[in-house]
Structure 1
Amino acid sequence: MACPSCGQPVNDEDRYCAQCGHRLNTEDKKMNRLWLLPAITAFAFIITFTSYFLYQHQKTVDAMNFFDKGERLSLDGDYTSAQAAFQKALEHRSKFQAAQKNQNITGLAIKIDDKIQEAKALKKDENYQESLNKLQEAENGLIQTKGKVANHLNERIKELRDKVSIAQINVKLKQADTLTELKALYNQSQNLTTDKGKEVAKTVKDKIVTIAKQQATSYLKEQRYESAQTVLDKSLALFPDNKNLLSLQKTVKSKKESYLKAQEQRLQEALTAAEKERKHNENEAVEVANVNLKVNKNGDMTVQGTVKSTATVSIHSVNVYYTIKGKNGNVINKGSCYATPYKIYPDEQGTFKNTHYNDSKKANKTKKQHYQVSVSKVQWYLD
């Protein structure tokens, strides 16, 4: 430094100038030095703080950029790259909760995506049921997860499930020929939401209606009205407004009523015929074909004849009652005898014979031609 009076160089610690003796202001200089240190310190702190703030701010910006990149990749289905982006975000901000949550979600998404890829491979190999089972596993894995990624995965699962179900239904539809099988396929088709799925559902419906009509018509020809009605009831439970089925149902109902009415009439006729038959069998089942009387030289009278069964069942123990009269109609004798054979079948005959010894003497030796015999009653039992 220099003396302010003469300009002679002086030392900082000199209080007077050695050249001119001028008093130097060392206290002010000292004060200036004391003020300068805090200022420098404050400035250094500001610079450090600002640098730290800018550094931390840049880390936050970088973390957000990686986070946004991860979300875009997740929605594009690139879950592995998305997970790496979220990891970068966490490296910049370790307590970035949203990044941590999304990283967990993408980890799950990778597993779900693997199952979806397996399901696609199974579909390609025509293992449709295994493919559907794999998709169900994938869907179950997302039950507790919400958000855009989960929604996107669920949409992919739903879309692939429709494709697999359509392929499976088309294969089974070619083989299905019973209403039970077709009903199961129709129920499965009701879960399809795509246009192709709705077309498949309509195809299944048309086949159900066609087979129901064929079966019901066949039963109708065989007069199996209950079976025909059952087929139509099951089909109408699925399609209550189908005009073809409703029309056929009316036909079955009409035919059934006519059949029942005719059957009732036949039953009544049968009951009437049965009653008539019963009365005939009980009262008119035996006809006397012939009866005659022979008297020998000893005066013995022999009554013999033939009976015929007009019953509709076999009869037995046929007992013929007869009366022998003389010329004036006076009763000479009465008797009965059983016809043989013991059992007589419908339209078959039996014979009867009985002898009265010495009865001619009791009749005062009336001439033979003046005797006559008649059947008064016939008794029998039904089997």
Structure 2
Amino acid sequence: MPAIIFLLLGSGLAGYFLYEESVTRTAISSFEQGEKLAIEGDLKAAQQKFEEAKQKRSRFPAAETNENMVSTAIKVKDTLSKADKARQSDNFTKAMKLVNHAEQSSTSYTGPLFTHLQEDIVSVKTTVMVAELKYDMKGKESIDELKLVLTRAETLQVDEAQEVAGQIRNQIVDFSINEANNHLEENHFTEALNSVEEGLQINKENEKLVNLKTVIEKRRTAFEEEQQKRIEHAMVAAAKEEEMNRTSAIELNDLKTDVTDYNELKVTGSVTSKATVPVNSIGASYRVLDADGEQFDKGEVYINPDKLYPDDTGKFDFKIYDIDKDLKDLEQFTVEIDHFTWYLD
């Protein structure tokens, strides 16, 4: 009897151990499949396999650990997906917060799965930052605004950011050229050169800017030479004008003599101011000549009004009294204006 019991017990234990071994093999198989799927990126399927392994072998710490890792990876992937959607909506602040959260969630994990995941995080972060740079460079209206975006682009050591930096430099060149040309149209050469120099600080050997700088410098030299000629011409003209104002300011328009019923010689005339400034106290020195051309009388008469502005006309008149009644040829008398005197305002 004891022998039979021993045989039955031995048979039962053997069956149990065979069953446990089969379960363990199945659990390990699910575990290994889960690892393979995780590396391939099929995280949900991997999570299911690790769960199967746990169900088949409840005490399976490695399966528990891997399931937690995959669960975290799935959450990180989901967070990165949300970050990408936020980027597509130009909500870059939200996108970066999500990327940073994903990065923090995965920092405590190592292994091939999270190595790939870290690469994804870096890729999404770069995409967000480059997209924000492209967005920010639009609509800028000054070189200073573009410089701020350029500084950010240059700090990102990735090809995409450097490409954006190149686009910003080209935009700065265009801004510099436009500003310089606007100043050049107004002959503001210093401001034009400053605009070019500002562009050259960013693009030192840009051919367009270098050529424009040469053009501005030549234009400035030509303008300054022309200005000097104008100044010299103006000085000559001013000297001539001053000379004319001092010596030829008053021009005689007409002079007429008449004999009155009282045997008086009446003289009338008018003058025009050719001066470029007001003149006043204008006097006309005259001589009265008889029929033989001999001087009969002389004197000075003042022009009315007292002050004449440029191109104004003034008049004068006077009479010669105390002429001998026996003088018969008075109508043959003539009057000459010897010279004018005046004062400049």
TM over 0.5: yes
Q: 2:335 aligns with which of 358, 369, 373?
A: 373
Distance 1:299 1:266 in 2: 59
Give 1 or 2 for the bigger CA radius of gyration: 1
Q: 2:272 aligns with which of 296, 301, 308?
A: 308
Would you say the 8 A contact 1:162–1:193 is kept in 2?
no
SS at match of 1:189: helix
Distance 1:132 1:183 in 2: 22
Partner of 1:207: 171
Q: 2:183 aligns with which of 219, 224, 236?
A: 219
AA paired with 2:181? T
Q: Normalising by structure 2, report the TM-score.
A: 0.63
AA paired with 1:367? D
Partner of 1:9: none
Distance 2:128 2:272 in 1: 82
CA separation of 1:154/1:262 partners in 2, compared to 1, >3 Å: closer, same or farther? farther
Task: Tell me how far 1:340 sits from its aligned partner.
Answer: 2.4
Partner of 1:236: 200
2:344 counterpart of 1:382: yes
Q: 1:169 aligns with which of 128, 133, 149?
A: 133
Which residues in structure 2 correspond to 1:263-342 (within 5 Å)?
Answer: 263-327=227-291, 330-342=294-306
Q: Deviations over 1:293-344 (max 9, x none)?
A: 3333434332221212222344333221112233555543222222223343
Task: Tell me how far 1:218 sits from its aligned partner.
Answer: 4.0
2:196 counterpart of 1:249: no
Q: Deviations over 1:265-288 (max 9, x none)?
A: 112112211221121122111111
Task: Tell me how far 1:290 sits from its aligned partner.
Answer: 2.6
Task: Tell me how far 1:233 sits from its aligned partner.
Answer: 1.0
Q: Deviations over 1:146-187 (max 9, x none)?
A: xx9xxx999998766543321111112232243222222112
Distance 2:272 2:140 in 1: 65
SS at match of 1:302: strand
AA paired with 1:231? S
SS at match of 1:175: coil
Larger RCO, structure (CA 8 Å, separation 6 or more): 2
Q: Normalising by structure 1, report the TM-score.
A: 0.58
Distance 1:366 1:164 in 2: 117
AA paired with 2:230? R
Task: Tell me how far 1:369 sits from its aligned partner.
Answer: 4.1
CA separation of 1:133/1:314 partners in 2, compared to 1, >3 Å: closer, same or farther? farther
Distance 1:157 1:276 in 2: 83
Number of aligned positions between the proteins: 272
Cα RMSD of the aligned pairs, angstroms, is: 4.2
AA paired with 2:234? A
Q: Deviations over 1:200-246 (max 9, x none)?
A: 11111122222322332343344332332121011111121222211
Distance 2:97 2:213 in 1: 40
Gaps of 5+ in 1: 1-112, 142-147
Which residues in structure 2 correspond to 1:334-353 (within 5 Å)?
Answer: 334-353=298-317
